[in-house]
Amino acid sequence: MRHWKTWAAAAGVALVAGSAAAQELYAPNLAYRTGPFAATGIPLMNGQADYFTMLNERDGGIGGIRVNFDECETGYSTEKGVECYEKTKAKAIVTQPWSTGITLQVLPKSNVDEIPILAPGYGFSPMADGRVFQWAFNTPSSYWDGASMILQYLEQEGGSLEGKKIAFLHLDHPFGKEPLPFLEAKAEEIGFSLVPIPVGLKEMQNQSAQWLQIRRERPDYVVMWGWGAMNAGAITEAVKTRFPMENFVGVWWASHDADLRLVGADGAGYKAISWSYPVLDAPVMQDIRTHVVEAGLSQTSEEEMQGVFYSRGVVISMILAEGIRAAQAEFGHAEITPSELRWGLENLNVTEARLAELGMTGMVPPFATSCADHTGHSGGWMLEWDGEKFVKASELLKPESALVSELEAREAQAYAEANAPWPVNETCSVGG
């Protein structure tokens, strides 16, 4: 009995403490630090968490209110993701689903629960159409943007793609299939032949069959949409089969330093398109070092902080923080609601000057969103592995907006029809 009383008292204290701390913004992150994708998840999650810890420590939060950047562990499993979503949605101002599978499940609920989904650089490309997907944001670049930038880069470097052959090595999963509609449309338009080569989830680590096919097909380029163990598998296999690395280009999730470090100098020349870049001496990184890492509030390491993924985590949190800031400025109070945050995310305007203020010059291209455009389509850089680290290999590349937005509008419409009744934002007419 005595024990029960102690526990009850502890629970009571916890409840009181919970209600006393109401003056905060609750921004949960559906993180994955466990499970098969943990190796790639941890640097991203650390970057995200450290940015908010830094804001809390340095400025006392945003607009004078602390941000409770809570993590809910999903292990990249959709079931746990739904559990986390249900657990956090009562207080949350935002959902960060962190997997295409979880995004697909949460997306239809967003109109009912009215909590914005922030999926920077992942999720569903048509989410860019803010009139249909009022609550979803994939700022600053969608997968179709990425595919468009890759094709442009290849054309810049090696001349017209007409008559060439591109092998599209992708994870056989909604994520990997994402850019196919765009690539197919472009293949028809330009006249290159596209060879999609799927990698099953079970074959991620052993891709000898796929690379045998690549050797037989002799493509001019290999474009890879990979994630987790698939990237390391593909890169080691490419080195083994002596595929010319400079003709091998990946998406931004295939730019994890640890994957390339496995092959080291043999991987030199490998490229990945990216909308973020690690600027190691950026003021924001210095602030994170002084306020977070040296204060012992972080789980990161020096090596991890220099990687592409850590700094991408920082950029992702910056997008959310800027959204919160915009909403606070518009509505004039610090404790914003989810729908006010949606307004903030729809009215982001991160200019070069703003990036300089944030101390993030060069870490992400300037971008702006509107109620019709939830992506920003700000472009990115081609990164190249020089044998030790990723370096910028191109100027800022811009996606080809005309085709991308036409596809987005069509697919978004199809989604809305399949999920009727689906509310569409009629009042929004910006951007046609």
Give the binding site for another protein (CB under 8 A).
Answer: 7, 10-11, 13-14, 17-18, 31, 33-34, 70-73, 75, 78-79, 82-83, 86-87, 90, 100-101, 104-105, 107-109, 111-112, 124, 172-174, 177-178, 180-181, 198, 200-202, 411, 414-415, 418-421
Burial class (CB in 10 A: 0-12, 13-18, 19+), 427: exposed
User: Toward another protein, which CB reaches closer, 1 or 20?
Assistant: 20
Q: Are 113 and 89 in contact (CB under 8 A)?
A: yes
- Measured distance CA(81)–CA(241) in Å, rounded: 38
Which tokens is 300 given? Answer: 């990161």
Minimum distance from residue 424 beta carbon to another protein (Å): 15
Q: Peptide bond preceding 421: is omega within 30 degrees of 0, i.e. cis?
A: yes
> CA 317, 322, 327, 329 torsion: positive or negative?
positive
User: Toward another protein, which CB reaches closer, 85 or 390?
Assistant: 85
- Residues contacting 393, CB < 8 A, separation 6+: 271, 381, 382, 383, 384
Minimum distance from residue 375 beta carbon to another protein (Å): 16
User: Toward another protein, which CB reaches closer, 97 or 219?
Assistant: 97
User: Toward another protein, which CB reaches closer, 180 or 334?
Assistant: 180
Side-chain-side CA neighbours of 339 within 13 Å: the count stands at: 4
User: Toward another protein, which CB reaches closer, 133 or 385?
Assistant: 133
CA 196 from chain centre, in angstroms, equals 23
- Residues contacting 150, CB < 8 A, separation 6+: 223, 249, 251, 273, 382
Q: Are 258 and 307 in contact (CB under 8 A)?
A: yes
User: Toward another protein, which CB reaches closer, 1 or 112?
Assistant: 112
Quote helix, strand, coil % in the chain, to nearest 5: 50, 15, 35
- Paired residues of 169 in beta bridges: 197, 224
User: Toward another protein, which CB reaches closer, 116 or 278?
Assistant: 116
Minimum distance from residue 316 beta carbon to another protein (Å): 18
User: Toward another protein, which CB reaches closer, 211 or 415?
Assistant: 415
User: Toward another protein, which CB reaches closer, 112 or 402?
Assistant: 112
- Measured distance CA(82)–CA(66) in Å, rounded: 26
Minimum distance from residue 233 beta carbon to another protein (Å): 17
Which own/partner contact pairs does 15-23 have at CB distance under 8 Å and 24+ positions apart?
A: 21/68, 23/65, 23/66, 23/335
User: Toward another protein, which CB reaches closer, 79 or 294?
Assistant: 79
Torsion (CA) 289, 293, 299, 301 in degrees, nearest 10: 60
User: Toward another protein, which CB reaches closer, 65 or 171?
Assistant: 171
Q: How many residues does the chain have?
A: 432
Minimum distance from residue 417 beta carbon to another protein (Å): 10
The CA-to-CA distance between both ends of the chain, in Å, stands at 68
Minimum distance from residue 293 beta carbon to another protein (Å): 17
Minimum distance from residue 120 beta carbon to another protein (Å): 18
Minimum distance from residue 73 beta carbon to another protein (Å): 4
Whole-Å CA distances, 392 to 157, 270, 300, 319, 383: 15, 12, 24, 22, 5
Minimum distance from residue 366 beta carbon to another protein (Å): 29
Minimum distance from residue 196 beta carbon to another protein (Å): 12
Minimum distance from residue 96 beta carbon to another protein (Å): 13
